[in-house]
Every structure is written in C-alpha cells, then in structure tokens.
Amino acid sequence: MSALRLLRAVRIPAHSTRLPRPAARPCHVPRRPVSGGPRYVRFGAESPGGEGPGKGSAWDVRRWDTAHKVWAGVGAFVVGYYVSHLEQVPETGRWRFMDISPKYEAMLAEASHQQLLQEFKGKVLPPNHPLTRHVRRVTTRILEASNLGTLDAPDVQRPKGTDEFWSFTGNPDELPPEVGGAKKWDLFVVNDDRVVNAMAAYGNIVVFTGILPVAKDENGLAAILGHEIGHAVARHASERYSQMKVLIALALLLDWVGIPFSSYAVALLYDLPNSRTQEFEADKIGMRLSSRACFDPEAVPEMFLRLGKLEQSMGGRHIDFLTTHPASEKRSKALREMLPEAYAIQAASPACASTRDHMAAFRDTWLGGLNPDRMSEVQWGI
C-alpha cells in the first residue's frame, strides 16, 4: 500500500509522456506526361523556342535594321504595283500584267509604221495589184464584221517629220485602232515569196506573198489574217513590252540576293511560255473573227496542217518548249475542238446566212463542175 502511495506522490511531467510526431512526408501525385495538346499562349508573346510573331522573332519589325526596312518597303511597292496593273484580256479572260500608257502606244504605232515603210521600200505591191486586192478584200470583211475598223486609203507613201513623229497631242485619232483609236488600219502586201509569214500590230497589217500558197484560197487567207489581227486585238505587242519591266525587276532582285541572272533560264521559263500562250490565244480570237466574217471555220485547222507539213518539208524539228510557237499539229487539234463554237458564231450572224446563199448561187451558175480548190491550186502554183 505504501508503494502505491509513493507512485501517486511522484508526478511525471505531462510533456514527457508524449511521443514524438513523425516528420511530414511530401505527397507525390503522379503527373500525366504532356502530349503536345493545346496550351494557352498570350497573343504576341514569344514562344519558348524564340520563334513566332512576338518580340525577338524575325517578323519583329522593331529589330530590323535600315536595309531590311528599305527592301521590305521596296518589295511591298513592287507587289502592289504589279497587282494594280493586272488586267484580263477581254476576248479570253486571261490575266496579264499590262503597264503601258496610251501616249506611248501611239508613239509605238507611228514608229512601227515608219519602220515598215523603210524596211519594205520598193517591195510593197501597188493597191491595184490583183494580190493586193485579194488580201484587201479578205481583210476588210474581217475588220468590218467585228467592228474593228476599216483599212486606210491605199497609200504606202506617208512621210512624217521628226517633230510630228514624236509628238502626241492627246487626239484619240492618233491611237492604234486596237486601243480605241480612229479604227484605221494600214495594209502592206510585200512581194517576197521566200518569206512565209504575216503579222499585225499597232494598226499595221503585213502579208508576204510567200504565205499565199499556204493559204490556198480566201478561207485559208482569212485564217491567217484572223490570227494576226487577233494578236493586235489582244494587244500582245504592248503586253510583251510590259513584260520587259518584269524581267528587269527580276534581274535586279536576283542580283541583290547574289544569284547570277541567266537570260537563257528566263527565256526558257518565262519568255517562251508566254509567247506560246499568246499564240494559242491569237488562234482562238482569229477563229472567232474569221467565222464572224462568214469564212469557213474548217479552213482554220486545215491551214495549220498545211503549215505543219511545210515546216517538216523544210527540215524543221519542232521542240515545243524551246520555241516561241506551238507545234502546228497541236494548234490544229485545239482549233478543231473549237469548231462547234465557230459554227455557232456563224449561225448567229444574219450576214453569214445571206453570204452562203449568194455563194451557192454563184457556184451553181458560174463554176459548174469546176473544183474551186483545184482552181486555187493552179492560181497559187501548188
């Protein structure tokens, strides 16, 4: 009993009876690996990799030096200038770069006329020559049927003074007919059987006698003239002048970046493809022009087949992407696919209906059993 009293009398401090608390352990929660999902990034903030439109990136204009700002301004001006001068060819809807003023086109038209007078001096057939009347008759029908104007009075001697040559008073009559001028065209029939060619630009139409055997007759000649007038109507000469500006700008750009300018590469990749595009376009426009003038649409692809045979007989090997003109066989095939459209143009023209009636009456009355194609072969020596 005394021992029990002794234990009660001895008091142990309360804090000595408490056990020490275990140290707190950090709770580890397993995290899912980031798999590249969407993450919020403040607009304009720089990405962890240092890229992006924010501060410090290559697109940050504030970090550009003066040279970069100048070239960026020049590039923006060039792009804006190019886009603002794009237009569509009214006859086909093709987009192109056109940068030439009416004043300069008037100067080119007069310069072209004077050059033709000097180049073919003494070779132009007189107005009363049978071949001149033949070509003039077909040309007049094509121009008047599409309201493109008329041929000027047959005068190949039209001298101009130097002051008058380079002046432009703003009179619309001085503009070429294809750009809204007085719609007066000049015709030159050049007596040169060695040249198988014809051309038209800035109101001047040139036909060499060497192309007449390929034409065979009026329908074939209409196919040739329609194509050449199609070049003038689409203003292909002015388009080529505008393309020269693009080539100059391209040469300067390549020189700035340190790439040597190659005229062969530019011709192969830019100049020649554009030239072939213009030829195809002139084929389409020309077929519509000759069909509207009541000439036989079938004669257009047939003429190109004859032209292709002539090229082969002369030993010419045609590699399409190395030439300014597409292969004649390819052009003939494309034009043959246009025949339904050409016949529809003729059917919509009241003048063509009356022309067919008159031609049928003339054939039955005067030709009898003669073959007109055979007569044309004898006439042109084919």
**Phi and psi for 201 in degrees, rounded to 5?**
-165, 140
Query: What is d(CA 255, CA 251) in angstroms, rounded to the nearest whole number?
Result: 6
Q: Select from 212, 188, 201 the least CA-distant residue to 124.
A: 188
Instruction: Report pLDDT for 226.
Output: 98
Query: What is d(CA 304, CA 330) in angstroms, rounded to the nearest whole number?
Result: 9
Render pLDDT for 189-241 as a digit per residue (tens, 0 to 9): 999 999 999 999 999 999 999 999 999 999 999 999 999 999 999 999 999 99
Q: For residues 55 and 375, which has the higher predicted lDDT (pLDDT)? A: 55
Q: For residues 191 and 15, which has the higher predicted lDDT (pLDDT)? A: 191
Query: What is d(CA 352, CA 136) in angstroms, rounded to the nearest whole number?
Result: 19
Contact indicator for 330, 307 with CB cutoff of 8 Å? no
- Is the pLDDT assigned to residue 162 strictly greater than 50? no
Query: What is d(CA 90, CA 233) in angstroms, rounded to the nearest whole number?
Result: 9
Q: How many CB atoms lie within 10 A of CB 95?
A: 9
Render pLDDT for 105-133 as a digit per residue (tens, 0 to 9): 999 999 999 999 999 999 999 999 999 99
Render pLDDT for 95-104 as a digit per residue (tens, 0 to 9): 999 999 889 9
Q: In the 8-state DSSP scheme, what is residue 179?
A: G
Residue with tokens 């009541």: 294
**Phi and psi for 204 in degrees, rounded to 5?**
-115, 130
The two three-digit tokens of residue 310, written as one number: 């002539």
Instruction: Report pLDDT for 257.
Output: 76
**Phi and psi for 190 in degrees, rounded to 5?**
-95, 130
The two three-digit tokens of residue 87, written as one number: 């237009």
Instruction: Report pLDDT for 251.
Output: 82
**Phi and psi for 238 in degrees, rounded to 5?**
-70, -35
**What average pLDDT does the segment 14-42 reach?**
56
Least confident of 27-31, 357-361, 371-375: 371-375
Render pLDDT for 69-86 as a digit per residue (tens, 0 to 9): 888 888 888 889 999 999
For every residue of 111-159, DSSP letters joined together read HHHHHHHHHTTTTBPPTTSHHHHHHHHHHHHHHHHTT--EEPPS-----
Give, to the nearest 10 degrees, the angle between helix 218-233 and helix 299-313.
Answer: 90
Q: How confident is the model at residue 382 (pLDDT cuts 50, 70, 90)?
A: very low
What is the identity of the amino acid at 306? R
Query: What is d(CA 53, CA 114) in angstroms, rounded to the nearest whole number?
Result: 59
Instruction: Report pLDDT for 166.
Output: 34
- Is the pLDDT assigned to residue 43 strictly greater than 90? no
Q: Select from 337, 215, 356, 349 the least CA-distant residue to 284.
A: 337
Contact indicator for 184, 148 with CB cutoff of 8 Å? no
Render pLDDT for 361-371 as a digit per residue (tens, 0 to 9): 555 555 555 55
Buried b / exposed e over 296-317, threshold 16 CB at 10 Å, is: bbebbbbbbbbbbeebeeeeee
Q: How confident is the model at residue 163 (pLDDT cuts 50, 70, 90)?
A: very low
